[in-house]
Amino acid sequence: MKSLHPLTWWIWSLLIVGAVIATNSAWAAGFAIAVAAISVHQFAEDAPWAKSFWFSLRLGAIILLIRTIVGVLIGVPIPGTKLFTVPILPLPSWIAGIRIGGVVTQERLLSSIHEGLIIIAVICLFGAAVSLTSPHKLLRVTPVVIYEFGVATVIATSALPQLVQSVGRIRRARTLRGDENPSWRSIAIPLLEDSLSRSLELAAAMDSRGYGVSRKRSRYRPIAWRQIDSAVVTSAACALALALVLR
Amino acid sequence: MINFSNVSLIYPTSTKTILEDLSFSIVEGELVLVIGSTGTGKTSLLQLINGLVPHHTGGILAGDITVDGISTKLVRPGELAHLVGIVGQNPAQGFVTDTVEEELAFGMEALNLAPDLMRKRVEEILDLLALAHLRNRAISTLSGGEQQRVAIGSALVMHPKVLVLDEPTSALDPIAAEEVLSILHRLVHDLSLTVVIAEHRLERVIGFADRIIHIAGDGNAKIDLPEIILKEADIAPPIVHLARALGLSDVGLSVRDVRRMTETIRDNGKDIEGALSTLGAEKILAKDLTIKYGSNVILKSLSASVRAGEIVALMGRNGAGKSSLLTALVGLQKPDSGTSHICGTASTDLKGKVRRETVGFIPQEPSDLLYGQSVVGECQQGDKDNQIAPGTTFALLQRIVPSISSGTHPRDLSEGQRLALALAIVLSAQPQVLILDEPTRGLDYQSKALLISLLQNYSKELGRCVLIATHDVELVAELADRVIFLADGEIVADGPTLDILLSSPAFAPQVAKVMSPRRWLTVSDVIAAMEA
Amino acid sequence: MLKTSDIYRFSRRSQFTLFSVSIFTLAGFTWPFFAADQSSARFAQYFFWIAIPFTFFLLIAQLSDKSLDAKSVALLGMLAALIAALRPLGAGAVGLEPMWFLLILAARVFGSAFGFLLGVLAMLASALLTGGMGPWLSYQLFAAGLIGLLAGASFKNLRGKGELALLVVIAIFSSLSFGLLMDLQFWPWAIGTNTQLSFIPGADLSINLGRFLTFHFLSAMAWDIPRAILTVVLTLTAGPAVLTALRRTKKRAAFLTPIEFIERAKSPEAI
């Protein structure tokens, strides 16, 4: 699974998102989230970006909570089975038209949850795509039309770990000068100056190596699209087709 | 291959002439060394070869420069990438990507080479530079020598005819430096590659150079055979100083040459006994120091001491634990077991003002210590921190480097000046102990001599002690009383400089190698022995 | 007169593309006010979630041209890394995002075109770093780019205290605008469609506007005000030093420096 084309999981999750939206069903959404979770658990590499799915899941749960609470507190009442009552809070008159509280019905609660689940499914499927794809490989398949921007992205992502190292170094030096708790300014300014002069060195090196000379560029190890990629994508496409048919 | 005709260079923003009417020719397969004090224009000369000057930096250029018949006036630097490969002073700053293989491929991708060709070339370079086992490694995890090889590889992957390197060995330990230089030597002799190197530390490179270009700093430059240039140049490696001091008619370029010329001196000279200096109390004391990083044991139960009035050099390969020992001594790192004390205070208790007044530490990058906007501002901050009279730090700085101007931004200073500024700031607190980590990286001989006299004054006359971690064998020979040799986290040797340096061929200074089996380390030792 | 390259600037085509895409993206932000009914609202939500990233990609493809040479790319990448590294330093506290002040200052020194790309790249790098990518990403990228664009746009020659004052104004305006834009895109889907603060498809503009403003006001208290305060504080305390560092770098980068080839060597006085 490691050698899948970086776009495979993205296309897969976009197709499943399409299926979930087409069915507009909370059950389908829940099922999609489960499928995403299982895929991430099975296939994601042990790498920093693999945490993205679980981050999305947490974010989705928070959004569901927000939507439910907002729906309960200031939702448009939906008549039906009464569950409980929230006391009505009086609000200042300039926030007109809002009434907090009231009768909360089962239909109201379910409506919030239903809508929320679909949104969460979308977020989680995005998160799954991120978790399952190495950003380095993704950068390697950036289309030639955005080559320059892609190079800038590569530079930015490669520079990040070096920045962390530099901060450590500068912090140590500040401590040595007697600053036990260096102010963030005394670390940030040297870090900024250090990074800026590095970027100028980098620019000279890039110019020397021929960056910007040719308008076309080639790809070192083109990542091939293989049968297994098609298999993964087809499975998601079937789900979408099914959803459209069953609507 | 490379032709400079009547080249003069001025940058638009300054009035100083960098090069004045320089003309020379470098033929294919030559290895040319460019020498000159810091700031004299070595980097400009190198960058003229591939067109970075003036296309990237701007500049007013008279005369013409051609590489393999192509004038650099007419083409951009990138268009010469297949002809001239350039490796800058700080290769780590020139890496675009973060893995070795991608870095090697970057330049070729930018020039739109076919994928098969790229694959082939990457494999070639990985084999040529012994990088195959590192191909998927992140560059930031490589050692200095390996990074240098990757940088050279990225330039060679274009199959250039000329390779230009700016101080390729300054950050490397002697073994790694040897590796890089022998690779270059092999490329010159097997592939007829033309190589131009700028270097400060001539000891290692001098044997390989076919010709030398000496840049004087007032715009004049001379190119000639090494023997001729070095006869009079102010910049010269120790064996040349030795030949001059002994009044030899020729200067030798290798240990072997000078040995042949000094047979009689060796036979007649006497060994000198090292002067027994009176040493004071123990100022630095480490006992059973152990540091672990995860499951890696960096320092294994290490014990060492330094007395007042001593200058001790800490040597060893990169990764042997030198930096860890220093940071533990200064209290920046808590050891997993064992203790260390400086002037009686436990290292971990050193904080703030107490630390500043007990120990002064100059890290590998002195500019980490600096965060002011100007030299004088930095000094004033130092005065404030140490609560001393304003102006003291600046006065101290001017004693070390008289020519420094107060308004310069610290980052615009040369390496030597930056080190001097850091030293002034650290010394103004009058610490009892001075610790330096690799101070001579990138320093020219002049700055090194200043550093040596400063440290000698500090330790001998003021009775304080100095601990230096360094690869620079010549520095150790001139300066240190004692050498502690670390390997794999343990001390494998601890004794007087004379004994330690003479016992290992890799770490013996040039003069010692020439004068073996006599026990002399420096030129002054030889002179003193002859006069005795 | 021959000169070295300039910092990245928009070409005519880039300006036009940016303008067109901005109009389309504006629609993507404000469709809740114009949706006719429930089903077209649903359609609009998902349509824009797919179309905006696509057009944004086309925009970047157009902006990625040869004006983005080695110097600009290297500066862009490094500054984006710094800004992206700053973002999580707010320790997750709501609204405390230290990244904006550096973006604004860099955009001021290097220009609006650079600022736009810097905003986009910094946001993208930060999203790659934290893995927080979702359907809101291209909206976020666009909004961040807009902040960079605006920060670099005005009163180029102002210096000293006047410049600081201008930067404070930009800081406040940007913090609040970014919040506004993000709220605009959160509003239709984050709180649900059936609440008293949700948009009503087909309703009068004034009704929807009122609801949105209430929603936005509540979120602004939590996010935008702290963001604005932090950005202003950072600008005032570190602004001058950062501006000096950035301007020094711009000078050292030798943009638009004369390149002259003369026939014979002249003495410095004669030049």
- Winning range, highest mean pLDDT, from A82-91, B195-204, B317-326: B195-204
Contacts of B20 in chain C (CB under 8 A): 265
Q: Which residue has the higher pLDDT, B278 or B237?
A: B237
Task: For residue A55, give how far its alpha carbon lies from the nearest alpha carbon of chain B (Å).
Answer: 26
CB contact under 8 A, B353 and A190: no
Q: What domains sit in chain C, N to C, each tagged with a CATH number? A: 70-255 (1.10.1760.20)
| Prediction ipTM score | 0.90
Nearest to C7, CA basis, from C101, C59, C70, C100:
C70
- Residue-wise pLDDT tens digits, B30-65: 999 999 887 778 889 999 999 998 899 988 999 999
- Determine which of A173-177, B299-303, C45-49 has the lowest per-residue pLDDT on average: A173-177
CB contact under 8 A, C134 and A66: no
Contacts of A206 in chain B (CB under 8 A): 94, 96
Closest chain C residue by Cα to residue B8: C265
Contacts of B63 in chain C (CB under 8 A): 265
Q: d(Cα B440, Cα B200) in Å, to the nearest integer?
A: 10
Closest chain B residue by Cα to residue C70: B56
Q: Is some CB atom of chain C closer than 8 A to the CB atom of A86? A: no
Closest chain A residue by Cα to residue B86: A208
CB contact under 8 A, A192 and C191: no
Task: For residue C171, give how far its alpha carbon lies from the nearest alpha carbon of chain B (Å).
Answer: 25
Q: Is some CB atom of chain C closer than 8 A to the CB atom of B58? A: yes
Percent of chain C with pLDDT over 90: 50
Q: Is some CB atom of chain B closer than 8 A to the CB atom of C3? A: yes
Give buried/exposed letters for C108-132 (b at 16+ CB in 10 A, else e). bbbbbbbbbbbbbbbbbbbbbbbbb
Preferred mutation among C7, C244, C257 to probe B, highest tally of B CBs within 10 A: C257
Q: Indicate the SS3 state at residue A149.
A: helix
Q: Is some CB atom of chain C closer than 8 A to the CB atom of B67? A: no
Identity of the residue numbered B48: L
The minimal CB distance from C82 to the residues A76, A130, A163 is found for A163
B88-109: average pLDDT: 88
Report the run of H or E that residue C115 belongs to, with start and end.
helix C112-130
Contacts of C257 in chain B (CB under 8 A): 12-13, 57-59
CB contact under 8 A, A178 and B355: yes
Between the alpha carbon of residue B346 and those of residues A190, A245, B289, the distances in Å are: 30, 77, 13
What is the pLDDT, as a whole number, of residue B117? 92
Contacts of C65 in chain A (CB under 8 A): 148
What is the pLDDT, as a whole number, of residue B197? 95
Contacts of B13 in chain C (CB under 8 A): 257
What is the pLDDT, as a whole number, of residue A98? 64
Helices A52-74 and A26-43: angle between axes, nearest 10 degrees: 160
- Residue-wise pLDDT tens digits, B449-501: 889 988 988 888 788 889 999 988 889 999 998 999 988 888 898 988 888 88
Closest chain B residue by Cα to residue A211: B110
What is the pLDDT, as a whole number, of residue A95? 58
Q: Indicate the SS3 state at residue C266.
A: coil
Please name the residue that has the structure tokens 């890799």: B506
Q: What is the strand order of the sheet B31-35 is part of? A: B84-87, B162-166, B194-198, B31-35, B211-215, B221-224
The 8-class DSSP code of residue A222 comes to P
DSSP string, B236-296: --HHHHHHHHTT-SS--SSHHHHHHHTHHHHHH--PPPPP-----SEEEEEEEEEEEETTE
Closest chain A residue by Cα to residue B103: A220
DSSP string, C163-219: HHHHHHHHHHHHHHHHHHHHHHHHHHHHS-SSBTTS--TT--HHHHHHHHHHHHHHH
CB contact under 8 A, B21 and C248: no
Q: What are the domain boundaries of chain A? A: 8-134+223-246, 144-208
Helices (H) and strands (E) in chain B, counts: 21, 20
Q: Is some CB atom of chain C closer than 8 A to the CB atom of A211? A: yes
Report the run of H or E that residue B180 belongs to, with start and end.
helix B174-191
Q: Indicate the SS3 state at residue B218.
A: coil
- Residue-wise pLDDT tens digits, B171-205: 787 788 888 899 999 999 998 999 999 998 888 88
- Three-state SS string over B358-409 comes to HEEEECCCHHHHCCCCCHHHHHHHHHHHHCCCCCHHHHHHHHHCCCCCCCCC
pLDDT > 80? residue C132: no
CB contact under 8 A, A59 and C134: yes
Q: d(Cα B305, Cα B491) in Å, to the nearest integer?
A: 12
What is the pLDDT, as a whole number, of residue B277? 66
Closest chain A residue by Cα to residue C235: A185
Q: Is some CB atom of chain A closer than 8 A to the CB atom of C233? A: no
What is the pLDDT, as a whole number, of residue B67? 94
B255-283: average pLDDT: 77
pLDDT > 60? residue C265: no
Cα B247 vs. chain centroid, distance in angstroms? 29
Q: What are C270's two structure tokens?
A: 């004669």
Q: Is some CB atom of chain B closer than 8 A to the CB atom of C4? A: yes
pLDDT > 80? residue C254: yes
CB contact under 8 A, C78 and A197: no
Task: For residue B377, give how far its alpha carbon lies from the nearest alpha carbon of chain C (Å).
Answer: 13
Q: Indicate the SS3 state at residue A169.
A: helix
For chain B, the average pLDDT equals 87
Q: d(Cα C23, Cα B524) in Å, to the nearest integer?
A: 79
- The predicted model scores a pTM of 0.89
Preferred mutation among A160, A166, A216 to probe C, highest tally of C CBs within 10 A: A160
Contacts of A215 in chain C (CB under 8 A): 66
CB contact under 8 A, A145 and C61: yes
pLDDT-based confidence at B273, cuts 50/70/90?
A: low
Identity of the residue numbered B290: T
Task: For residue B412, give how far its alpha carbon lies from the nearest alpha carbon of chain C (Å).
Answer: 10
The minimal CB distance from C261 to the residues B12, B20, B61 is found for B61
Percent of chain B with pLDDT over 70: 98
Q: Is some CB atom of chain A closer than 8 A to the CB atom of B293? A: no
Q: For B298, list phi and psi in degrees, rounded to 5.
A: -85, -45
Q: What domains sit in chain B, N to C, each tagged with a CATH number? A: 2-236 (3.40.50.300), 237-268+498-532 (no CATH), 282-488 (3.40.50.300)
Percent of chain A with pLDDT over 90: 13
Q: Are A169 and B363 in contact (CB under 8 A)?
A: yes
Q: Are B7 and B22 in contact (CB under 8 A)?
A: yes
CB contact under 8 A, A197 and C64: no
pLDDT > 60? residue B143: yes
CB contact under 8 A, C85 and A147: no
Helices (H) and strands (E) in chain C, counts: 9, 1
What is the pLDDT, as a whole number, of residue C270? 45
Q: Is some CB atom of chain B closer than 8 A to the CB atom of C19? A: no
- Determine which of C12-21, C38-47, C229-238 has the lowest per-residue pLDDT on average: C38-47
User: Residues for chain C: how many in total?
Assistant: 271
Q: d(Cα C105, Cα C249) in Å, to the nearest integer?
A: 13
CB contact under 8 A, C210 and A122: no
- Residue-wise pLDDT tens digits, C74-124: 999 999 999 998 887 765 556 678 889 999 999 999 999 999 999 999 999
What is the pLDDT, as a whole number, of residue C271? 43
Q: Is some CB atom of chain A closer than 8 A to the CB atom of B145? A: no
